């Protein structure tokens, strides 16, 4: 293993951080060097996010030191780190939706004359940066009208404007398609070539192998490997992260039954038009497309979260009431939304509450919940899904991302859905948990459910789906049957033809 050195733009030496009795980071060294893209890897709960938050000023280390250009620093807040030249791009962009692109770029670094913000200078400076890094954007566009990918590009432009010396990308591409992610990493490489140090956290190994120069692997809060990407392989990195080879179970053959879900001519003004698809018992249908193509909107409309302007949805021959989540659920159609923190879970509630909230009628008497029945039902689901938790009473927000996703899926399964629509089911999940979630989905299909998987991860769709429908600008542009080529899916999603 290549040991980190004490040289670099930003250096961590023997950092430690504990939360109560849990030691999240234990004596970790890390050196981010100018001109390099450095991948910080590890399963959920390995400590990488805690490490990055200490470097970005969001957390304070209990022990160890941080050096900036060989000078010890202590960040009391993210603002201190920002002033020192450290910019962080997160999965969810903290932008102000009502301001312009030029204003977003200038936030915290306003150009002024005589103490007054100079709008002309602000737009001129933004135009120069956009012209070089994101020429398809204009300075007067409103942030709230941009896609997530473009908002993240604006954040990188803002980092350039601030003279950033360290750029941290914390799961910045988790919600992006491969094409959009490559564009974002292209800007990161441009910054590295100009002398910036770049750190990336991602669970997508294709991004690590394609864009990173060096890596650091954490496991259980400790550094277990470091070196150059050119000297390793994806399999070796997975073994370092997991501590052993990840077992990938052989996918058993499935037979498909009658049509469970049938969608005919579904349309919604400005979002998608004339969508027709069907899913049979035991079948997994993938829904592919770039961010903004209309995939999520289609899933939400099928499951009653949105009203359709025209078209129909049937489950086992029964027509579902338009725009009614309650009617869809009563008919056996369940939807797992993309944003588990906002809609998929009650993070402040226990694991038991989250796992049983869909079936309160089964564990209640005269309106009062029988807590023993709740615990028994929750423990059964925890065991079946191999959810890692201290107990069913643990608060959901304390779980790792992968285990939170398992709880969110388990909550839907408790109602025994006949149709399950999963939007980005493995977003932000490490490689081991991703395999486990895939097996949960396959098991449900083997039991006869019809599954729809919406994902921007084309290799995942190719691996998991029996068929894939590709969406381009709100329209169906083609279908691929297994075995599916991820590059073909990407080509169709980008160009709108088969």
Task: Calculate what percentage of the chain has a pLDDT beyond 90.
Answer: 38
| Token pair for 315 | 């489950």
Tens digits of residue pLDDT in 464-492: 999 999 998 899 999 998 877 877 887 78
**Look-up: residue for tokens 């098991």?**
443
Instruction: Give the per-residue pLDDT at 92.
Output: 62
Instruction: Give the per-residue pLDDT at 494.
Output: 67
Mean pLDDT of 414-431: 83
Tens digits of residue pLDDT in 25-67: 999 999 999 999 999 988 766 888 889 899 999 999 999 999 9
| Token pair for 150 | 């473009």
Instruction: Give the per-residue pLDDT at 495.
Output: 63
Judge whether 50 and 60 are in contact, CB under 8 Å: no
**Look-up: residue for tokens 């001109």?**
35
Cα 368 to its chain centre, rounded Å, is 37
Q: How far is it, in rounded angstroms, from Cα 248 to Cα 432? A: 9
Model confidence at 247, pLDDT cuts 50, 70, 90, reads: very low
Domains and CATH numbers, the chain: 10-242 (3.40.50.300), 259-332+417-495 (3.40.50.300)
- Please indicate whether residue 282 or residue 175 has the higher confidence score (pLDDT): 282
> According to the per-residue pLDDT averaged within each range, which of 105-109, 151-155, 163-167 is highest?
163-167
Model confidence at 118, pLDDT cuts 50, 70, 90, reads: confident
Buried-state track 154-177, b at ≥16 Cβ within 10 A, e below 16: bbbbbbbbbebbbbbbbbbbbbbb
Please tell me the pTM assigned to this model: 0.58
Instruction: Give the per-residue pLDDT at 498.
Output: 42
Instruction: Give the per-residue pLDDT at 248.
Output: 43
Instruction: Give the per-residue pLDDT at 44.
Output: 64
Judge whether 37 and 189 are in contact, CB under 8 Å: yes
Q: Does residue 453 surpass a pLDDT of 50? A: yes
Task: Calculate what percentage of the chain has a pLDDT beyond 70.
Answer: 92
- Please indicate whether residue 222 or residue 339 has the higher confidence score (pLDDT): 222
Q: Does residue 124 surpass a pLDDT of 50? A: yes
| Token pair for 215 | 């890596």
Judge whether 84 and 68 are in contact, CB under 8 Å: yes
Model confidence at 342, pLDDT cuts 50, 70, 90, reads: low
CA angle in degrees (0–180, nearest 5) for 47-390-433: 55
Average of per-residue pLDDT values in the chain: 85
Model confidence at 252, pLDDT cuts 50, 70, 90, reads: low
Instruction: Give the per-residue pLDDT at 249.
Output: 44
Q: Does residue 250 surpass a pLDDT of 70? A: no
């Amino acid at each position: 293993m290549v040991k980190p050195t004490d040289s670099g733009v930003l250096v961590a030496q023997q950092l430690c951080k504990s939360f109560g009795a849990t030691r999240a980071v234990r004596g970790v060294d890390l050196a981010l060097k100018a001109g390099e893209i450095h991948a910080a890897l590890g399963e959920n709960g390995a400590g990488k996010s805690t490490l990055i938050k200490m470097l970005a000023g969001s957390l304070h280390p209990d022990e160890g030191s941080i050096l900036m250009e060989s000078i010890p620093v202590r960040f009391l807040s993210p603002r201190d780190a920002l002033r020192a030249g450290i910019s962080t791009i997160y999965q969810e962009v903290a932008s102000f939706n009502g301001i312009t692109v030029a204003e977003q770029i200038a936030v915290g670094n306003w150009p002024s004359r005589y103490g007054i913000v100079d709008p002309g200078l602000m737009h001129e400076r933004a135009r120069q940066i956009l012209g070089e890094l994101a020429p398809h954007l204009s300075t007067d566009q409103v942030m709230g009208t941009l896609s997530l990918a473009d908002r993240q590009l604006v954040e990188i432009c803002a980092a350039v404007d601030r003279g950033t010396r360290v750029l941290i990308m914390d799961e910045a591409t988790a919600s992006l398609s491969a094409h959009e992610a490559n564009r974002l990493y292209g800007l990161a490489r441009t910054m590295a070539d100009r002398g910036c140090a770049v750190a990336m956290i991602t669970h997508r190994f294709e991004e690590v192998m394609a864009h990173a120069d060096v890596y650091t692997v954490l496991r259980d809060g400790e550094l277990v490997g470091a070196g150059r990407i050119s000297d390793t392989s994806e399999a070796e990195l997975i073994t370092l992260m997991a501590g052993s080879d990840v077992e990938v179970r052989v996918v058993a053959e499935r037979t498909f039954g009658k049509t469970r879900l049938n969608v005919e001519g579904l349309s919604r003004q400005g979002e998608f038009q004339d969508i027709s698809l069907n899913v049979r018992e035991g079948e997994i249908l993938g829904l592919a497309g770039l961010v903004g193509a209309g995939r999520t909107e289609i899933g939400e409309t099928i499951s009653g979260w949105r009203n359709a302007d025209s078209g129909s949805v049937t489950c086992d021959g029964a027509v579902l009431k338009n725009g009614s989540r309650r009617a869809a659920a009563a008919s056996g159609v369940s939807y797992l939304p993309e944003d588990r923190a906002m809609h998929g879970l009650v993070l402040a509630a226990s694991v038991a509450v989250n796992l049983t909230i869909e079936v309160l009628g089964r564990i209640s008497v005269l309106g009062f919940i029988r807590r023993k029945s709740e615990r028994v039902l929750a423990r059964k689901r925890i065991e079946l899904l191999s959810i890692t938790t201290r107990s069913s009473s643990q608060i959901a927000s304390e779980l790792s991302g992968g285990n939170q996703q398992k709880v969110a899926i388990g909550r839907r399964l408790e109602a025994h859905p006949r149709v399950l629509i999963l939007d980005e089911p493995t977003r932000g999940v490490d490689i081991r948990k991703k395999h486990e979630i895939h097996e949960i989905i396959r098991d449900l299909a083997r039991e006869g459910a019809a599954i729809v998987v919406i994902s921007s991860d084309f290799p995942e769709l190719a691996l998991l789906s029996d068929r894939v429908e590709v969406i381009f600008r709100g329209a169906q542009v083609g279908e691929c049957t297994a075995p599916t080529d991820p590059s073909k899916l990407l080509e169709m999603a980008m160009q709108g033809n088969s």
